[in-house]
Amino acid sequence: MSAVVDAIQLAPAAAAHGYWRSVFSRLTRDKVALTFFSILVLIFVAAIFAPLIAPSDPYASSILNRLKPIGTPGHLLGTDELGRDMLTRLIYGGRLSLLMGLAPVVLAFAVGSFLGITAGFVGGRVNTAIMRTVDVFYAFPSVLLAVAISGALGAGIVNALVSLTIVFIPPIARVAESVTTQVRSLDFVEAARASGAGAPTIIRVHIIGNVLGPIFIYATSLISVCMILASGLSFLGLGTKPPQPEWGLMLNTLRTAIFQNPWVAALPGMMIFAVSICFNLLSDGVRQAMDVTR
């Protein structure tokens, strides 16, 4: 055999890097993303450890103590319209609000990815059937659809979760289908077919790894929308029911109090806003980190 040595085997200085390692290192250098990530972690931790951190009982009401202003001794952030401590209710409120903001997206990610990847990979009539059905739900503005389904089902956490999941499945499924169709047409998938691999193997080895990334990024960008929508449903009386502490519901019940104690009334919304912005900026940061590596 003649010399088959590649004279231009220029070895890059760095050793072979895992893909996720480089994404992670890029992320940790993004100051903005890190700041808001820390804030988010703080809020999460506070919510999880609420019983340990909160000063009082979120359900303890006292008519005499109604709508005390911020800075009242014993009630750092004032009290609500039933005399309950605001700080406590805000911390506890994080549990339900975060749950209702995250769970639907997680569920929709699972279901939507499954539908979209199947449609994108199989193509043909299966694709048409799945995507046209998805399109029907996509034809509704999301708020309207959420309100419609929740309105019919009635108030309650589970109902709201169902409604929100249904709202977020179509956009995720569409993205999943689009990405899968693109990846499927790449040469390495053809090469895998040419090797004689069957569809399940190809999907497992070649498609999933390349497709879940973009879908995941897209899903994270939906979290803040879901949070606002979930709290919005509670605000309309379609989500959590009183006396449960949840930021949207608190906004609703405090609404009538804006003439007496506007600052306290605005507090729950501040929390929703803060979490929403954190998720948005974090999602942007993740997207940038994943982009540059490609």
Distance CA 59, CA 62 (A): 10
Smallest separation, CB 60 to another protein (Å)? 25
Smallest separation, CB 237 to another protein (Å)? 7
Q: Residue 13 or residue 64: which is nearer to another protein going by CB?
A: 13
Q: Residue 87 or residue 225: which is nearer to another protein going by CB?
A: 225
Going by C-beta distance under 8 Å and a sequence separation of 6 or more, which residues neighbour residue 36?
277, 278, 281, 282, 285
Smallest separation, CB 177 to another protein (Å)? 18
Q: Residue 63 or residue 195: which is nearer to another protein going by CB?
A: 195
Q: Is 20 helix (H, G, I), strand (E, B) or coil?
A: helix
Smallest separation, CB 74 to another protein (Å)? 25
Q: Residue 17 or residue 29: which is nearer to another protein going by CB?
A: 17
Q: Residue 27 or residue 257: which is nearer to another protein going by CB?
A: 257
Smallest separation, CB 281 to another protein (Å)? 7
Q: Residue 91 or residue 149: which is nearer to another protein going by CB?
A: 149
Question: What are the angstrom distances between the C-alpha of 182 and each of 189, 195, 219?
Answer: 11, 20, 18
Question: What are the angstrom distances between the C-alpha of 39 and each of 19, 36, 43, 279?
Answer: 27, 5, 6, 10
Q: What is the DSSP string of 194-220?
A: HTT--HHHHIIIIIHHHHHHHHHHHHH
Smallest separation, CB 33 to another protein (Å)? 13
Burial class (CB in 10 A: 0-12, 13-18, 19+), 41: exposed
Using the Cα atoms of residue 155, residue 161, residue 162 and residue 166 in order, give the sign of their dihedral.
Answer: positive
Whether 220 and 251 have beta carbons less than 8 Å apart is answered as no
